[in-house]
């Protein structure tokens, strides 16, 4: 399941960006003493004890200058974040005290009906306790005095935020394959989901960008349960002007981050575009399972060579993902889409495939016989053993005498041998080369 979403909102310059950097324990937001520095929403994952959530940073909300396009855009971004969030973290400033804008924002938050955590920032000492009491009048429950700069009371704040969130272990135990349907706008993602479900779950129209949000649908196939996530189409960044479209792109990226398997939909009429390559590259780097569905195949004039020519062209454009199964079909006519259920299940199993260390090392010995480890500057690489250390994606550590002696081409050779032996269809593989000290290796 998706991680819960927490939106940080408040006036400009109350310390929201400093707070998100502190909660994330890394620099995520630009911090300057200039109102409006954070213009777009920024997402990051936060872990507290056995719970995880996604934090959304927003720009400061102002109401004084309605004609200011930047202020208006920031306010719209924040309102969208509030609609999207499961919990809203409202940050106010103890030094400035309560303002009319704080009261207006509090009124908007009460109307959402969502849980609100009120954090009074810049409370750097016990002497400022009275400054916190003033904010009870906002009618949002007990305020928590914090210092984002000094990270004071972060534990109490995180306890309040995550109250009621599911434990991470509980989420991981669910035997449901989360599948994101991804691609550029208007390639047929919603039509594909409707065809798989057998009824119209997602709005379908010829207008680009009909699907604004990521929409979840439960799908049962051959006794197996899947969650299908219909995402908004992702355009090039330069073509995204409307705040609502920026919001849609972020939702699509989140859908990829939270899925087990991504079905990337390619428009057969357009073939593979540069934007397609970038999105598929993101799926690959995220370590997700990948299926390529070439849609609108019914609209292509074909002969006996067409499908091979299409596949060759697409494979050549994706040299980093030769493992991805490719299916040609039509969401509209339901051509070949019945194969997707088995493909998704198989890819998910491959993502979780474990190979014993003894079997891996037998394979490694055979590989070394075919292609001995390289030498560099008179030094010969020695490979001691390999073991699998993780899944989703399958991740292996190969111990050698000196990692600098192992060229990436040799790692690719080992990956190919792993795929020949165990397939790993539809999933990337990670191979980490690690030096292991051994007195006899030199």
Parse the chain into domains and list their residue ranges.
Answer: 5-164, 176-352, 357-435
> Where on the phi/psi map is residue 97: left (φ > 0), alpha (ψ -120 to 50), or beta?
left
In angstroms, the CA 420 to CA 365 distance is: 15
Report the C-alpha gap between 148 and 145 in whole angstroms: 10
Burial class (CB in 10 A: 0-12, 13-18, 19+), 49: exposed
Round to whole Å and give the CA distance between 212 and 185: 10
Give the three-class secondary structure for 18: helix
The answer to whether 180 is a known ligand-binding residue is no
* CATH code given to domain 5-164: 3.40.50.300
User: Does residue 239 carry a pLDDT above 70?
Assistant: no
Residue 400's φ and ψ, nearest 5 degrees, are -135, 170
Residue 110 annotated as binding site: no
- pLDDT tier at 4 (50, 70, 90 boundaries)? confident
Question: Which CATH number describes the domain made up of 357-435?
Answer: 3.30.300.20
Q: What is the pLDDT averaged over residues 180-201?
A: 86
Note whether 91 and 8 are within 8 A (CB): yes
Residue 190, annotated as binding a ligand? yes
241 Cβ contact list (under 8 Å, min separation 6): none
pLDDT at 433 over 60: yes
- Tell whether 287 is in a known binding site: no
296 annotated to a ligand binding site: yes
Contacts of 163 (CB under 8 A, 6+ apart): none
Strand order in the sheet with 430-435: 383-390, 395-400, 430-435
CA distance 332 to 196: 10
**Do 5-164 and 357-435 come out as alike in CATH topology?**
no
Task: Find out whether 233 is annotated in a ligand binding site.
Answer: yes
Buried b (16+ CB within 10 A) or exposed e, 311-327: eeebeeebeebebbbbb
CB atoms within 10 A of CB 33: 7
- Is 334 labelled a binding residue? no
Say which CATH topology domain 176-352 has: Rossmann fold (3.40.50)
CB atoms within 10 A of CB 419: 15
Tens digit of pLDDT for each residue in 30-56? 333 433 333 334 567 788 988 888 887
**Is 204 marked within a binding site?**
no
How far from the centroid of its chain's Cα atoms is residue 85's Cα?
16
The whole-angstrom distance between residue 192's C-alpha and the CA centroid of its chain comes to 22
The three-class DSSP label of residue 261 is: strand
Q: What is the mean pLDDT of residues 49-75?
A: 65
Residue 432 labelled as part of a binding site: no
222 three-class SS = coil
Q: Mean pLDDT over residues 300-329, rounded?
A: 95
> Is 299 annotated in some ligand binding site?
no
pLDDT digits (tens, 9 = 90+) for 86-116: 899 999 999 999 999 899 889 888 888 899 9
- 88 assigned binding-site residue: no
Kindly state the average pLDDT of the residues 352-381. 92
Q: Binding residue per annotation — 231? A: yes
According to the model, what pLDDT value does residue 32 have? 38
In whole angstroms, what is the distance from residue 132 CA to residue 123 CA? 8
Give tens-digit pLDDT for 145-185.
999 999 899 999 999 999 988 776 544 445 789 999 999 88
378 in a labelled binding site: no
Q: Are 156 and 142 in contact (CB under 8 A)?
A: no
- In the chain, count H helices and then E strands: 13, 17
Which pLDDT band, with edges at 50, 70 and 90, does 439 fall under? very low
């Amino acid at each position: 399941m998706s991680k819960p979403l927490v939106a940080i909102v408040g006036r400009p310059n109350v310390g929201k960006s400093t707070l998100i950097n502190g909660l994330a324990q890394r620099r995520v937001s630009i911090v300057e003493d200039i109102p409006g520095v954070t213009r777009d929403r920024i997402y990051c994952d936060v872990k507290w004890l056995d719970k995880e959530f996604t934090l959304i940073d927003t720009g400061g909300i102002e109401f004084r200058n309605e004609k200011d396009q930047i202020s208006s855009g920031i306010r719209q971004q924040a309102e969208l974040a509030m609609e999207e969030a499961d919990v809203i973290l409202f940050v106010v400033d103890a030094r400035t005290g309560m303002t009319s804008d704080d009261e207006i924002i509090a009124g908007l938050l009460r109307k959402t009906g969502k849980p609100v955590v009120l954090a009074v920032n810049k409370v750097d000492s016990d002497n400022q306790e009275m400054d916190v009491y003033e904010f009870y009048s906002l009618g949002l429950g007990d305020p928590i005095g914090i210092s984002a700069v000094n990270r004071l009371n972060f534990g109490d704040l995180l306890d309040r935020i995550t109250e009621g969130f599911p434990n991470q272990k509980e989420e991981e135990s669910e035997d449901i394959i989360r599948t994101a349907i991804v691609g550029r706008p208007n390639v047929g993602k919603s039509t594909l989901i409707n065809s798989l479900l057998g009824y119209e779950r997602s709005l379908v129209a010829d207008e680009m960008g009909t699907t604004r949000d990521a929409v979840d649908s439960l799908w049962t196939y051959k006794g197996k349960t899947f969650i299908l996530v219909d995402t908004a189409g992702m355009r090039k960044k330069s073509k995204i002007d409307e705040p609502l479209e920026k919001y849609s792109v972020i939702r699509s990226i989140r859908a990829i981050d939270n899925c087990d398997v991504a079905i990337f939909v390619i428009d057969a009429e357009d073939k593979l575009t540069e934007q397609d390559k970038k999105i598929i590259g993101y799926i690959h780097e995220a370590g997700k399972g990948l299926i390529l569905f070439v849609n609108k195949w019914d609209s292509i004039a074909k002969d006996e060579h067409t499908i091979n020519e299409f596949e060759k062209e697409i494979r050549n454009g994706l040299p980093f993902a030769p493992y991805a199964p490719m299916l040609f079909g039509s969401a509209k006519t339901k051509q070949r889409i019945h194969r997707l259920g088995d493909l998704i299940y198989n890819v998910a199993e491959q993502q979780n495939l474990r190979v014993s260390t003894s079997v891996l090392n037998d394979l490694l010995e055979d590989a070394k016989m075919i292609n001995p480890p390289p030498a560099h500057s008179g030094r010969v690489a020695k490979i001691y053993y390999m073991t699998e250390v993780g899944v989703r994606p399958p991740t292996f550590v190969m111990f050698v005498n000196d990692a600098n002696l192992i060229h990436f081409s040799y790692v690719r050779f080992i990956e190919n041998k792993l795929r020949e032996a165990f397939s790993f269809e539809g999933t990337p593989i990670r191979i980490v080369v690690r030096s292991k000290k051994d007195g006899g290796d030199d």
